[in-house]
Structure 1
Amino acid sequence: MRLGLNSPLVTAFPGQHSPWERSAGIAELTAVAEAADRLGFDYLTCSEHVAVPAEIAAQRGGTYWDPLATLSYLAARTERIRLHTQILVIGYHHPLEIAKRYGTLDMLSGGRVVLGLGVGSLKEEFDLLSADWERRGKVSDDALDALRSSLSKREVEHHGPFYDFADLVVEPHAVQQRVPIWIGGHTPISLRRAVKYGDGWCPFGLPHDKLAEMLSAVEVPEGFEIVLGAGRPLDPIGEGERTARALRRTRDAGATIANVHVQADSATHYVEQLEALAAISAEIQED
């Protein structure tokens, strides 16, 4: 099981961000990204919301750095760590917009993009962007089909119920022969959608026993990634045993990658926590 880093600063989800992040900026984020790259973490994340209603931001957070701008910058400051859009809302974009923008990022980063995509759950934002809330599931399925037929290709074609195009050139395009697509969500439908259209599933908001139960009901293809959260923010330095138990529990639930947060009181402390976490993970690999 590998470790993916749920990036600090770029979101301010209640209960998962620390006070030091409020006054931190790009220098601190860069220090964390460079350390994660050096230590062998699998990916960095950046999520997407355009505008969150104030009353909803109190529960879901209102800070969301733009993923394309953020990951493009971090691509230039790192060498091997992957760049994971956890999560782009599919219905907010034409599939060729995603193919062009993130295909360009894949080219610039040397093939390090992982497209995390989701159907979306915030009706107010759909309405704001004139996106189709009622048919978002069907729109997403067609968009995923269109993306799979368009990523990594110069000449693109797709004929579906919502998107129909042919004889078009997308250049530059992704350099990976198959850009990984991981589907977010917390329902059996999201898991089935991930198996049908994607290369991995990154659920949220569910306990490990429920996740294990859902996974046992579906036959996943070889190489399919199961990206599960490791629970509340970890404290590898102060609570090494609890951290090890959390990672083992995540692995035993079926994870191929653990999506982790760490506790910290500064960027320097955050990097130290990552170093301790990487050492604990290395020990677990020997189990």
Structure 2
Amino acid sequence: MRFGFISSFGTPAQHVEIARACDEHGWDGFFTWDGVSLGEFGEGAVATWDPFGILAAAATVTERVTLGAMVFALPRYRPWELAQRALTVDHLSGGRLVLPVGVGVTDDRAFSSVPGQPLTLKDRAAALDETLAWLERSWSGEPFTADGEHVRTGVFQFPQRPVAGRVPVWPVGVWDATRPPARNLRRALRWDGVVPQLRGTAEVPGPDDVAGLVAWIAAERSARDGAGRPFDVVVQGRLPDDPAEAAELVAAMREVGATWWVESRWDPAQDTPESLLARVRQGPPAT
């Protein structure tokens, strides 16, 4: 099991310092986040930064950690710009970029304040799929075109391919053991991993939830002849402060098949850039 850390608050320089500390103190991944204009205007407004800019800078001060954002809101990107930015970070980092992706939230004004952006969940999901398809074709190194409902382009070519031939993609997937699997879970099966969420709540999935999800994934991938390809189950959450409790939770998650724990701290009252850096310097939980 690998351990990542989300740098949730800070200036660009502070985010990059947290990335450096992740690399130096035993973490396996550094993650920023993706938003443009959120929350209230004025003094309480949330500061947001370009995630690819943060990751490009992080790539130059780290040597081994995986780099990504939780999560990239792909439907609001222009696919050709996304492809170029991802390819740049991939090469700067020597192939360490991953792309956790989702449909985005419409309370980001980059959706709601821009005419023509997809707003309904159906349209954002369709735009996500078409953008991912475009992105994957850009990794071929060959000329290609697109004629989708949301993504239509003439011929493009990116002659330089990603370092490993492709960049791993982890779509968000909603899981509820009591109901049929959501369509976004079936989307994740086509890619390289899943970032699970519980249906209708922001609650962190527990070991029982992850166990059910992993069993469903194994059965579906076996039926699709995809079981031999690596597949990540990426759980986000805040570990207990007590080291013994944290170790117990991590052990339970690893036992049921989670491959990543990404430490996520989003309380601005206590999760200051200084406290985030201090936590990173303590290292990942004992296993």
Which consecutive residues of structure 2, in runs of 5 or more, have no partner in the other structure? Answer: 176-181, 222-226, 266-270
* Displacement of 1:86: 1.7
* Displacement of 1:77: 0.9
Query: Residue 145 and residue 27 in structure 1: after superposition, are their counterparts in 2 closer, same or farther (change >3 A)?
Result: closer
Quick check: 1:152–1:176 contact (8 Å CA) kept in 2?
no
Secondary structure of the 1:161 match is coil
Count of residues in Structure 1 that have an aligned counterpart in Structure 2: 256
Quick check: 1:154–1:173 contact (8 Å CA) kept in 2?
no
* Displacement of 1:26: 4.9
The answer to whether 1:225 aligns with 2:232 is yes
Aligned to 2:2: 2
User: Higher mean Cα deviation, 64-73 or 30-39?
Assistant: 30-39
Secondary structure of the 2:262 match is strand
Cα distance in 2, alignment partners of residues 129 and 173 from structure 1: 32
Runs of 4+ in 1 over 6 A off after TM superposition: 262-265
Aligned to 1:19: none
Quick check: 1:116–1:184 contact (8 Å CA) kept in 2?
yes
The answer to whether 1:202 aligns with 2:195 is yes
Quick check: 1:31–1:267 contact (8 Å CA) kept in 2?
no
- 1:68-217 matches, within 5 Å, as 68-123=52-107, 125=109, 126-130=111-115, 131-134=117-120, 135-151=123-139, 153=141, 155-170=143-158, 173-187=161-175, 188-196=182-190, 198-204=191-197, 205-206=202-203, 207-208=205-206, 209-217=208-216
* Displacement of 1:88: 1.1
Which consecutive residues of structure 1, in runs of 5 or more, have no partner in the other structure? Answer: 11-24
* Displacement of 1:223: 0.7
Query: Residue 48 and residue 267 in structure 1: after superposition, are their counterparts in 2 closer, same or farther (change >3 A)?
Result: closer
Cα distance in 2, alignment partners of residues 254 and 180 from structure 1: 19
Q: Which amino acid aligns with 1:255?
A: A
Query: Residue 203 and residue 116 in structure 1: after superposition, are their counterparts in 2 closer, same or farther (change >3 A)?
Result: same
Query: Residue 256 and residue 97 in structure 1: after superposition, are their counterparts in 2 closer, same or farther (change >3 A)?
Result: same
Quick check: 1:100–1:171 contact (8 Å CA) kept in 2?
no
Query: Residue 63 and residue 242 in structure 1: after superposition, are their counterparts in 2 closer, same or farther (change >3 A)?
Result: farther
Cα distance in 1, alignment partners of residues 279 and 140 from structure 2: 36
Instruction: Find 2:249's aligned residue among 246, 249, 254.
Output: 246
Quick check: 2:25–2:282 contact (8 Å CA) kept in 1?
no
Cα distance in 2, alignment partners of residues 268 and 140 from structure 1: 33
Calculate the TM-score normalised by the size of structure 1. 0.77
Q: CA RMSD in A?
A: 2.8
Query: Residue 172 and residue 273 in structure 1: after superposition, are their counterparts in 2 closer, same or farther (change >3 A)?
Result: same
Aligned to 2:278: 269
Aligned to 1:255: 258
Deviations, residues 65-94 of structure 1 (Å, cap 9, x unaligned) = 320111111111111212112211111012
Cα distance in 2, alignment partners of residues 142 and 28 from structure 1: 34
Quick check: 1:157–1:168 contact (8 Å CA) kept in 2?
yes
Deviations, residues 145-180 of structure 1 (Å, cap 9, x unaligned) = 111111352634444333233532336553230210
Deviations, residues 115-145 of structure 1 (Å, cap 9, x unaligned) = 1111123256322133111211112112211
Quick check: 1:183–1:193 contact (8 Å CA) kept in 2?
yes
Secondary structure of the 1:178 match is coil
Quick check: 1:182–1:202 contact (8 Å CA) kept in 2?
yes
Quick check: 1:100–1:173 contact (8 Å CA) kept in 2?
no
Calculate the TM-score normalised by the size of structure 2. 0.77
Q: Which amino acid aligns with 2:238?
A: R
Q: Which amino acid aligns with 1:212?
A: A
Instruction: Find 1:32's aligned residue among 11, 15, 18.
Output: 18
